């Protein structure tokens, strides 16, 4: 290492700049080098003298190693993620690279700055669906076998967790959301609420409420977060307005 490096891993929030924390903004302004997946990095305003290192998708470890190399050279590096950097994002990749990299990397100053995750932004839009126990699962089988995803979906739904599903569908795996609903219909009532929230907090935001019985998997893409209630989740109908969805905090003993 040529100097004392500094690496900050930042969650930018779901999209609306108002949902980016002041701590994240301050860290971005202090950086000399910014690294991230291209569409996320494009959300950070360009400033004179600050290098932007945009990369493609599915290269998280390479991106993390590049950030660590720059920090080891004495740069003030910020790695950005959408939402919260610790939820299916870059914080884990950076620490994995440190864990398996040069032991000298452990002397770097590394800070993780939290952000508002998509599941929290969506929940706030529709009421309080996460009012009781919930589980967050990625449907992507890029980094884990699909069989593991199926086991976790069935177990979590059967245990009474509300489910927040990230990465529900893509062009490479358009069938997985449908398979997910098939599995959950064998465990949960057909009346269970399902929320499709796409591009949450952005100008093209879209939120749709369905039931598990009639939920259409084609509503979901990679910009969509899908929330699936538990058997206890309730819907409050509102004339002329979007319904509220909440999960009571109390579970009565049988």
Q: What is the structure's pLDDT at 1?
A: 45
Pair 57, 51: CB distance under 8 Å: no
Q: What is the structure's pLDDT at 3?
A: 56
**Distance, CA of 165 to CA of 153 (rounded, Å):** 9
**pLDDT 10s per residue in the chain (254 long)?**
445 779 999 999 999 999 999 999 999 999 999 999 999 999 999 999 999 999 887 789 999 999 999 999 999 999 999 999 999 999 999 999 999 999 999 999 999 999 999 999 999 999 999 999 999 999 999 889 999 999 999 999 999 999 999 999 888 888 999 999 999 999 999 999 999 999 999 999 999 999 999 999 999 998 999 999 999 999 999 999 999 999 999 887 65
Domains and CATH numbers, the chain: 6-116 (3.40.1010.10), 119-246 (3.30.950.10)
Q: In terms of Cα–Cα distance, which of 160, 156, 115 is closest to 138?
A: 156
**Distance, CA of 84 to CA of 104 (rounded, Å):** 27
Pair 55, 62: CB distance under 8 Å: yes
Three-state SS letters, the chain = CCCCCEEEEEECECCCHHHCCHHHHHHHHHCCEEEEEHHHHCCCCCCCCCEEEEECCCCHHHHHHHHHHHHHCCCEEEEEECECCCCCCHHHHHHHHHHCCCHHHHHCEEEEECCCCHHHHHHHHHEECCCCCEEEEECCCCCCCHHHHHHHHHHHHHCCCEEEEECCCECCECCHHHHHHHHHHCCCCCCCEEEEEECCCCCCCEEEEEECCCCCHHHCCCCEEEEECCCCCEEEEECCEEEEEECCCCCCCC
Q: How many CB atoms lie within 10 A of CB 46?
A: 9
How many Å separate Cα 13 from the centre of its chain?
A: 9
Q: What is the structure's pLDDT at 174?
A: 85
Q: What is the structure's pLDDT at 253?
A: 60
């Amino acid at each position: 290492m040529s100097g004392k490096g500094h690496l900050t891993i930042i969650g930018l929030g779901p999209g609306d700049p108002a949902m980016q924390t002041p701590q994240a903004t301050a860290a971005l302004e202090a950086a000399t080098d910014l690294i991230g997946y291209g569409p996320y990095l494009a959300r950070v305003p360009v400033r004179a003298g600050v290098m932007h290192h945009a990369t493609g998708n599915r290269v998280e470890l390479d991106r993390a190693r590049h950030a660590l190399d720059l920090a080891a050279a004495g740069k003030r590096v910020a790695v950005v993620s959408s939402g919260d950097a610790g939820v299916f994002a870059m914080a884990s990749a950076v620490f994995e690279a440190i864990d398996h990299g040069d032991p000298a990397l452990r002397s770097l100053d590394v800070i993780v700055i939290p952000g508002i995750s998509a599941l929290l932004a969506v929940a706030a839009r529709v009421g309080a669906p996460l009012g009781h126990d919930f589980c967050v699962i990625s449907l992507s089988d890029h980094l884990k076998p699909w069989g593991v995803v199926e086991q976790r979906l069935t177990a979590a739904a059967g245990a009474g967790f509300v489910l927040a599903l990230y990465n529900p569908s893509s062009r490479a795996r358009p069938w997985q959301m449908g398979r997910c609903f098939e599995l959950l219909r064998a465990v949960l009532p057909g009346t269970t609420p399902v929320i499709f929230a796409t591009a949450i907090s952005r100008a093209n935001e879209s939120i749709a409420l369905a039931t598990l019985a009639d939920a259409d998997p084609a509503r979901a893409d990679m910009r969509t977060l899908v929330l699936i209630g538990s058997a206890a989740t309730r819907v409050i109908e509102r004339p002329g307005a979007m319904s509220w969805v909440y999960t009571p905090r109390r579970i009565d003993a049988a």
